[in-house]
C-alpha cells in the first residue's frame, strides 16, 4: 500500500516478532530495515504451534496458503494421564477452530514459518542488515548503536530482540523485568518412521493431533510436523539449569530417568530420543512502559512480554503486536500521529499480553499438580467436562 508520508522504521531482531512487525509496517507503506545479530537468517528449534489468533493475521497478510502447505492440521487435542496414558479429555480442533475463530490451528516447523515470513518481508521491500549486534539505542538521535559498525538511524525504532533485549536495557537500565519460572523445557524430535514400527505408537505417528500428558511436577506435549515425518515434543520439568544459562545440550539418560513412573507409551517414545536440549523458561512481569517518552521507540514480543509456552501464545502474541503496530501506522498521517500510534499500541497490548502470561502460569500450575487429591480432582473434572476457551 502506498503511503503519502512514509517514514523509516528500524526493527532490531529478525525473530518471529520482528519479522511480523516488518511485514505489517511495510504493508502500511513505510520503509523498514531489520538489524539482526545473526550472520544468516534462521530460527532455532523444531516445532511451533500457530493458534487461530495468529493464523488469522497470517491469512490477512496472504501467507497462510503457503504455510498450510508445510503445516500439519491437527484433528483433535487429547490430554492423557501421565500414569497410565488414559484419556482425560478429547476435543475437536478441526473444523471447530475454523468454524469458531475463522482460522485454523496449525503445527509447523519453525524454520518454515520463519522462512515464509522472511520471504514475505523481502517481497515487500524490507531490507536486512545481518551480522549486526545492537548494543543499545541512542534515543536522542533515534539510532540503533551497532557493535563495530556505524549507528543505524531512523524515524522510529522497534526493539524485537527477544528475552535478553539490549534495546530494553537501553530503555530501562539494567533491571530485567523477566524472571525464572522454576520450569525448563526439554525439546526433542523423534522420526515417525521409527515410531510407526510399534503398534502402540502408530496413532501418534500418523494422526495429526495435539497430545498432552498431564503429570506431577511437569507436563509434555507432542505433535507432528514436517509433513508428518517428525514427532516434536516439548517436555516440562523443574528447572535444573544454572541461573545464567538459558539453554544447553542435555543428557538423554538423565531426562529418561525423570519419567520412570510415566506410562509405557511415553517412556517408549523417550527411548527413541537421541538428542535433547534444555531451555530455561522465563516470564515477564508487566513493565511500567514499553515506550520511550519521546515517542520514537517501542518494544515488542519476548523483549517485553515473555511467557511460559503452555498456551502456545509467545510467538502468536508477537505476531499480534506486529499486526497492531502495522494497522496503527497505516492510519497515521504524519510522525506525530505515529508517536500517538505507539502510545495506543502499548495501551492495547499490555493488558492482553499480561493476561496471557498469567493464564499460561495458571495452566502450568494445574498441569503440574503433585500426586494426591487435587490431581485426582483435576483429572476427574477433565474427564467429566472441559469447555474449550481459546484466544
Ligand atoms: P526471538 O525469537 O528471541 O527473536 C529475537 C531476535 O533478535 C533473534 O533473531 C535474535 O538473534 C535477535 N537479537 C537478539 N539480540 C540482538 C541484538 N542485540 N542485536 C541484533 N539482533 C538481536 N510460541 C507460540 O506462539 N507457539 C508455540 O507453540 C510456542 N512454543 C514454544 C516452545 C518453547 C519450548 C519455547 C521456549 C517457546 C515457545 N513459544 C511458542 C514462544 C516463542 O518461541 C517466542 O515467544 C517467540 O519466538 C518470540 O519471538 P521474538 O521475535 O519476540 O523473540
* DSSP result, 287-311: PS-SB-TTSSEEE-THHHH---GGG
User: 68, 122, 123: which is closest to 94 by C-alpha?
Assistant: 68
Distance 202 CA to ligand 1 centre (A): 32
Ligand 1 binding pocket mutation candidate from 107, 112, 114, 161 (most atoms within 8 A of CB): 161
Q: Averaged over 16-22, what is the pLDDT?
A: 98
**277-311 pLDDT, tens per residue?**
999 999 999 999 999 999 999 999 999 999 999 99
Q: Averaged over 220-248, what is the pLDDT?
A: 96
DSSP 8-state class, residue 311: G
ipTM value:
0.98
Q: What is the pLDDT of residue 391?
A: 40
Position in ligand 1 atom list of the atom nearest CA 43: 9
Distance 294 CA to ligand 1 centre (A): 27
Task: Say if residue 367's pLDDT is above 50.
Answer: yes
Q: What band does 4 get if pLDDT is binned at 50, 70 and 90?
A: confident
Spatial distance between the Cα atoms of 103 and 53, rounded to a whole number of angstroms: 7
- For atom 35 of ligand 1, the residue with the nearest CA is 309
Spatial distance between the Cα atoms of 98 and 366, rounded to a whole number of angstroms: 27
Q: What is the pLDDT of residue 333?
A: 87
Spatial distance between the Cα atoms of 151 and 190, rounded to a whole number of angstroms: 44
**302-359 pLDDT, tens per residue?**
999 999 999 999 999 999 999 999 999 999 989 999 999 999 999 999 999 999 999 9
Q: What is the pLDDT of residue 45?
A: 82
Q: Ligand 1 pocket, 369 CB below 6 A?
A: no
DSSP 37-65: SSSS----SSEEEE-HHHHHHHHHTT-HH
Q: Averaged over 103-118, what is the pLDDT?
A: 97
The torsion of the CA quartet 203, 204, 206, 207, rounded to 10 degrees, works out to: 80
Spatial distance between the Cα atoms of 11 and 13, rounded to a whole number of angstroms: 6
Q: What is the pLDDT of residue 370?
A: 96
Q: For cell 484466544, what's the residue?
A: 391
Amino acid at each position: 500500500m502506498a503511503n503519502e508520508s512514509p517514514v523509516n522504521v528500524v526493527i532490531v531482531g529478525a525473530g518471529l516478532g520482528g519479522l511480523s512487525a516488518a511485514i505489517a509496517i511495510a504493508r502500511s507503506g513505510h520503509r523498514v530495515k531489520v538489524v539482526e545479530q545473526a550472520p544468516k537468517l534462521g530460527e532455532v528449534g523444531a516445532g511451533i504451534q500457530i493458534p487461530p489468533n495468529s493464523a488469522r493475521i497470517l491469512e490477512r497478510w496472504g501467507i497462510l496458503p503457503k504455510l498450510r502447505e508445510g503445516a500439519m492440521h491437527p484433528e483433535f487435542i487429547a490430554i492423557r494421564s501421565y500414569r497410565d496414558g488414559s484419556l482425560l479429555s478429547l476435543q475437536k480442533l478441526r473444523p471447530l477452530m475454523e468454524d469458531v475463530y475463522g482460522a485454523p490451528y496449525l503445527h509447523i516447523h519453525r524454520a518454515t514459518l520463519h522462512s515464509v515470513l522472511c520471504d514475505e518481508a523481502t517481497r515487500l521491500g524490507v531490507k536486512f542488515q545481518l551480522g549486526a549486534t545492537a548494543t543499545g539505542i541512542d534515543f536522542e538521535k533515534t539510532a540503533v548503536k551497532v557493535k563495530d559498525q556505524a549507528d543505524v538511524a531512523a524515524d522510529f525504532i522497534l526493539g524485537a530482540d527477544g528475552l535478553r533485549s539490549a534495546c530494553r536495557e537501553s530503555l530501562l537500565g539494567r533491571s530485567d523485568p523477566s524472571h525464572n519460572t522454576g520450569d525448563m523445557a526439554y525439546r526433542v524430535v523423534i522420526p515417525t518412521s521409527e515410531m510407526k514400527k510399534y503398534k502402540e505408537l502408530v496413532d501418534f505417528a500418523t494422526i495429526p493431533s495435539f497430545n498432552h500428558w498431564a503429570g506431577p511436577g511437569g507436563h509434555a506435549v507432542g505433535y507432528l510436523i514436517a509433513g508428518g515425518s517428525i514427532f516434536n515434543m516439548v517436555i516440562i520439568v523443574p528447572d535444573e539449569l544454572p541461573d545464567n544459562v538459558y539453554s544447553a545440550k542435555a543428557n538423554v539418560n538423565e531426562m529418561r530417568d525423570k519419567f520412570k513412573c510415566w506410562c509405557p507409551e511415553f517412556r517408549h517414545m523417550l527411548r527413541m530420543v537421541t538428542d535433547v536440549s534444555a531451555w530455561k523458561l522465563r516470564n515477564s512481569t508487566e513493565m511500567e512502559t514499553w515506550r520511550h517518552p519521546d515517542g520514537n521507540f517501542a518494544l515488542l514480543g519476548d523483549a517485553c512480554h515473555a511467557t511460559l509456552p503452555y498456551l502456545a501464545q509467545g510467538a502468536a502474541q508477537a505476531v499480534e503486536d506486529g499486526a497492531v503496530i502495522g494497522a496503527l501506522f497505516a492510519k497515521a498521517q504524519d510522525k506525530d500521529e505515529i508517536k500517538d500510534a505507539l502510545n495506543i499500541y502499548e495501551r492495547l497490548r499490555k493488558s492482553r499480553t499480561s493476561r496471557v502470561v498469567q493464564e499460561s502460569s495458571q495452566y502450568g500450575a494445574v498441569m503440574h499438580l503433585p500426586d494426591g487429591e487435587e490431581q485426582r480432582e483435576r483429572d476427574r473434572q477433565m474427564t467429566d467436562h472441559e469447555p474449550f476457551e481459546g484466544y
